[in-house]
Amino acid sequence: FCVTTDGFVAFTAGCSDLSSLYSELDALISDDVEAVRLLGAKVRASLLAVPLPAAVADAALAAWREIGDGFAYAVRSSATAEDLPGASFAGQQDTYLNVRGEQALLDAIRRCFVSLFTDRAILYRQKNGFGHRGIALSVVVQRMVFPDAAGILFTADPVSGHRGTITV
């Protein structure tokens, strides 16, 4: 199941100083890594103090119970600006694996929302000219399975960045 961007908007609405934090983010200089690190930590700390809204938590728990609360889950972030023609935000936000139990699920969802403000995500948006205010995040909750085999397909070479090389 997914917790939509409406859940993210409801969550961030609970942060009373978010508007001023966005203003600080907008004023950052993209190559000032130390300033990004300090401000990113400040934003994350502010958001980590915000509880999930009851409606978001209740809907997530209802969906989780419906598909089975006795399993391990992957709780994955998905930003609205991922997989664009000129930029890929994949991997900028956090994923939590082997999540079990009600409190762990709710905490992982909240931490996914907060991960829109990891240092790497802030820097990526800054360097690629994306505003911080226009990006939202949803959360994908998937039952984990134990595969016989697994792999990753890169549509650009992970070392050189060459887009004509596909690597598995």
Q: Give the pLDDT confidence of 6-28 residue by residue, as tens digits.
A: 999 999 999 999 999 999 998 88
- What percentage of the chain carries pLDDT values higher than 70? 93
Q: Are 157 and 167 in contact (CB under 8 A)?
A: yes
The SS3 of residue 86 is coil
Give yes or no for residue 31 having a pLDDT over 80.
no
Residue 86, judged by CB atoms within 10 A of its CB (0-12, 13-18, 19+), counts as: exposed
Q: What is the pTM of this model?
A: 0.85
Length of the chain: 168
CA neighbor of 140 nearest in space, from 101, 93, 85: 93
| Average pLDDT of the segment spanning 19-40 | 90
Whole-angstrom distance, CA of residue 83 vs CA of residue 151: 19
| Average pLDDT of the segment spanning 107-130 | 90
- Partnered with residue 140 across adjacent β-strands are 2, 76
- Helices marked H in 14-165: 18-26, 33-48, 54-67, 102-114, 119-127
Residue that wins the pLDDT comparison between 31 and 118: 118
Amino acid at site 3: V
| Average pLDDT of the segment spanning 83-96 | 69
| Average pLDDT of the segment spanning 148-152 | 87
